[in-house]
Structure 1
Amino acid sequence: MKCNEISHFSHPQHKLSYEYSEFPFKCDGCKEVGIGSRYKCTNCDYDLHMHCAIPSPSITHPFYTKCSFQFLSRPPGNVPRYCNACEKDITGFLYHCRSCGFDLHPCCAKLPMVLDDGDVKLYLYRKVSASCHRCGRKGRNKSWSYRSTCKKYNLHVACVKEMLVDSWHEIYFGHDNNYNNSNTNYRKLENRIPSLKGTLQTHHKKSKGKAQKCCEVAGLALQFIISAVLGDPTTLIAGVVGSLMSK
């Protein structure tokens, strides 16, 4: 349930207000990038994904039927942890299974099993044997994947994260703390929205008809996958990402 204002243990000095933003932000809870719905402290420029601001104390996941994941504010122990969904390091909030040792970023843990806008339907798989549209590999260790109903389009969740890191390096690593407040930087950001446009055009450069339609579907699918990975898998946010990708 969404509240307009909340108190959060990670930022006790001020209350956090619900806000919707079309600007990417770095979540101060899980340390991952987000877009869309968030809780923000305007005094301190402190941001949290919805999933980080109002977490479930414990969750289960259909990919790990024997696991019970507990929400933690920091990774347990002194050994580096990585997310079993996207293979990326975990440096902040997480869901952890004490019995199996599995870890999930909060947004990865809440990735929808099905993304469906009426035209494009994508299913989340723990593993797929087909090649990824981004990296071209048929298997990638432990990364989850989204796959289209026709099974012709696949994209690793890990590859989406890599695209985001490459495009939004300053946000991930904090080299530019004024990204959200600068129109100049926002225009630069628009040109670095992750896109498969070039890859798809090269892949089907001599093909038309069904192949061209495949590219269009793949591009739309990417919009929804990026939106889901960023913590807000809504049609509205997918449209925002799509408009930025087209520039």
Structure 2
Amino acid sequence: MKYNEISHPCHPQHTLKFEYTEFPFKCDGCKEVGIGSRYRCGMCDFDLHMHCAIPSHSIVHPFYTKCSFQFLYRPPGNVPRFCNACEKDITGFVYHCKSCGFDLHPCCAKLPMMLDDGEVKLYLYRKVSSACHKCGRKGRSWSYRSTCKKYNLHVACVREMLMESWPDIYVGRGKARSMETRIPSLKNTLQNHHHKSKGKVKKCCELAGLAVQFVISAVLGDPTTLIAGVIGSFMRG
């Protein structure tokens, strides 16, 4: 965290204050879902991810070593654009490479290359040959894969789950249980994927659930946040 209170050109009326929330919000910068750390104007119900509130002017990414991404407040040009990380539409703040035309959501551009909670390590890959536990397909968008290679989840699939759930989340405005209608489907997918003894399946799916929580946290813009109160409960039971 750099500042407790900032001014932002996209919301000049009031200052934005740093706060932490365990409930999902919609970022008014990149227009994507967020959770955890944010900058907010309570008077106007205006929210920004940390990455959107205090962006880097330009970045380079390990997956695109020949590119230079510039931060823009709106997508360039008049044609629809999509994020090269999660394959979802770009409708707000974006990191754009003028030379190659690649685009990244601010949160996708800042996805950690590794997530580690001490028990499960997940590495970010541009492409993997193993199937995603959610959609069952190979390739596609960037993916997080565990060191043991048992758990693989497309960033695009996480985005899809969140977007499917968003109407319930947003209408609920703080009712965390509104996510329960969608997120458990991933747990069932993971359970059906394995053909081991009951005990091993339970342990495997507990670890997979933990891995999913970390990926969701990262995609939502705050990989350090503990989202047990919102998503963690849907991976148990």
TM-score, normalised on structure 2? 0.93
What residue is the counterpart of 2:163 in the other structure? 165
What residue is the counterpart of 2:82 in the other structure? 82
The answer to whether the Cα contact below 8 Å between 2:123 and 2:146 also exists between their aligned partners in 1 is: yes
1:180 aligns with 2:173: yes
What residue is the counterpart of 1:232 in the other structure? 222
Q: Aligned residue pairs: how many?
A: 236
Instruction: Note closer, same or farther for the CA distance 1:42–1:239 as it changes in structure 2 (3 Å cut).
Output: closer
Distance 2:146 2:85 in 1: 18
The answer to whether the Cα contact below 8 Å between 2:7 and 2:16 also exists between their aligned partners in 1 is: yes
Distance 1:159 1:30 in 2: 18
The answer to whether the Cα contact below 8 Å between 1:227 and 1:241 also exists between their aligned partners in 2 is: no
Larger deviation, residues 123-132 vs 160-169: 160-169
Please report how far the alpha carbon of residue 203 of structure 1 lies from its aligned counterpart in structure 2 after TM superposition: 2.3
Flag as ranges the 4+ runs of structure 1 deviating above 6 A: none
Please report how far the alpha carbon of residue 107 of structure 1 lies from its aligned counterpart in structure 2 after TM superposition: 0.2
Matches within 5 A, 1:169-208: 169-170=167-168, 176=171, 179-180=172-173, 186-192=175-181, 194-195=183-184, 196-204=186-194, 207-208=197-198
Q: Note the alpha carbon deviations across 1:154-207, whole angstroms, 9 max, x for none.
A: 100000101111112355xx7x3xx436xxxx1542423623211122223663
The answer to whether the Cα contact below 8 Å between 2:35 and 2:222 also exists between their aligned partners in 1 is: yes
What residue is the counterpart of 2:144 in the other structure? 146
Classify the secondary structure of the residue corresponding to 1:168.
helix
| Structure 2 portions without partners, runs of 5+ | none
Distance 1:131 1:9 in 2: 42
Instruction: Note closer, same or farther for the CA distance 1:49–1:213 as it changes in structure 2 (3 Å cut).
Output: same
Larger deviation, residues 102-111 vs 213-222: 213-222
Q: Note the alpha carbon deviations across 1:193-236, whole angstroms, 9 max, x for none.
A: 62321112222366334444322211110000000000010152
The answer to whether the Cα contact below 8 Å between 2:4 and 2:18 also exists between their aligned partners in 1 is: yes
Distance 2:139 2:209 in 1: 21
Classify the secondary structure of the residue corresponding to 1:161.
helix
What residue is the counterpart of 2:52 in the other structure? 52
Root-mean-square deviation over aligned CA pairs:
1.9
Instruction: Note closer, same or farther for the CA distance 1:17–1:187 as it changes in structure 2 (3 Å cut).
Output: closer
Distance 2:235 2:194 in 1: 19
What residue is the counterpart of 2:106 in the other structure? 106
What residue is the counterpart of 1:36 in the other structure? 36
1:119 aligns with 2:119: yes
TM-score, normalised on structure 1? 0.89
Distance 1:239 1:197 in 2: 17
| Structure 1 portions without partners, runs of 5+ | none
Please report how far the alpha carbon of residue 240 of structure 1 lies from its aligned counterpart in structure 2 after TM superposition: 4.7
The answer to whether the Cα contact below 8 Å between 1:124 and 1:146 also exists between their aligned partners in 2 is: yes
Distance 2:224 2:74 in 1: 28
Distance 2:87 2:197 in 1: 34
What residue is the counterpart of 1:26 in the other structure? 26
Instruction: Note closer, same or farther for the CA distance 1:187–1:5 as it changes in structure 2 (3 Å cut).
Output: closer
Give % identity.
77
Whichever residue aligns with residue 31 of structure 2, its letter is K
Matches within 5 A, 1:216-231: 216-231=206-221
